[in-house]
Amino acid sequence: MEPKPWRDRVREEEELLARLNRLTSEAAARRAEALLEGVEELGSKAEVARALDRSWQAVDQAIKRYERKRASGPDATTTA
């Protein structure tokens, strides 16, 4: 069996990376939405961070990335 030409392999891998980036972006958005629900419920990012045993900065950065992406439009790509 003849191996695939390198150009085809590169193209396939680039398509895979694009799909993975899109999935990562979508997962990051869902996570940020959940974090925002936690902030509503618990009252602050610090409380959400404590509840999840995460740093306050990690929660804050995830929410800020999501808000920046949402403000820039639906076609923007921001990963976790």
| 42-61 pLDDT, tens digit each | 999 999 999 999 999 999 99
Instruction: Flag whether pLDDT at 38 surpasses 80.
Output: yes
* Residue 76 confidence class, pLDDT cut points 50, 70, 90: low
* Residue 74 confidence class, pLDDT cut points 50, 70, 90: low
Q: What is the mean pLDDT of residues 7-35?
A: 98
* Predicted structure pTM score: 0.78
Strands (E), the chain: none
In the chain, what percentage of residues exceed pLDDT 90?
85
Neighbours of 64 (CB within 10 A): 12
Say whether 65 sits in a helix, a strand or coil.
Answer: helix
